[in-house]
Amino acid sequence: GKTTLLRIIAGLSEPSEGERRLSLASAGGDRMPRGRVGFVFQDPTLMPWSTVVDNVLLPFRLARRVGPDERGRVGAEIRAVGLAGFERAYPHQLSGGMRMRVSIARALVTDPDLLLLDEPFAALDEITRTALNEDLLRLWESRGTTVVFVTHSVFESVYLSTRIAVMTRRPGRIAADLPVGLPQPRERDLRTSANYAAVCATVSNELARAMAGAKE
């Protein structure tokens, strides 16, 4: 359900019923123009034979638009995700967290209006996951890009989000739409605050209701 929803938003799949409406799309359109959507999958999906630079450059190669400006953009994104000095490294030389940073840089290199992330940190250890949470927040706060982030972690969803949609199991339905209401910018000590704990409890309760309803 959640991955299917992201694919429909991105225009990679068509809805079996209903319609897709995107306020970021061109007037009267139901899909985003090419290059205006960035997609980060659960697996980094990097080309193992290509360096970090060439992996991030891929969207421009596919668009047959590779010049000094595009290469400059690639370098800027690599630095933005904290991989300066690894430009010529290959995926097998990188840790799991570093490979995910390459994937994020590739999704951001076209300066998309909409960034979709499908459980990108699920396979990472807690320390790496926390660090990438912080980096993603920093990137979002500096750019203002609309982000749709799929996660199974209540704590991650509350820390990263301004709004949370709780989905049921198959068939996937939106069971709750919750404003987070925590202050921006997010600071790491927010995770130990009473307000954060209260929002996490609310989301956990809504998730439990959604799962209970799905079993009936």
The domain of 14 spans: 2-152
Q: Is residue 213 part of a domain?
A: no
Q: Is residue 192 part of a domain?
A: no
Q: Is residue 200 part of a domain?
A: no
CATH number of the domain that residue 136 is part of: 3.40.50.300
Residue 61 CA neighbour count, 13 Å, CB half: 9
pLDDT in tens, 14-46: 888 887 777 765 544 555 555 588 999 999 999
Q: Is residue 72 part of a domain?
A: yes
pLDDT in tens, 93-117: 999 999 999 999 999 999 998 999 9
CA dihedral 160, 166, 168, 174 (to 10 degrees): -130
The token duo for 180 is 């987070």
DSSP string, 11-44: TSS--SSS----TTSPTT-SSPPTTSEEEE-SS-
pLDDT, residue 27, reads 41
State if pTM tops 0.85. yes
Q: Is residue 169 part of a domain?
A: no
Q: Is residue 184 part of a domain?
A: no
pLDDT, residue 212, reads 83
C-beta neighbour count of 62 within 10 angstroms: 11
Q: Is residue 185 part of a domain?
A: no
For the chain of 216 residues, list the mean pLDDT of each consecutive stretch of 10: 84 81 58 74 94 96 90 96 97 96 96 93 93 93 92 95 91 90 91 96 93 67
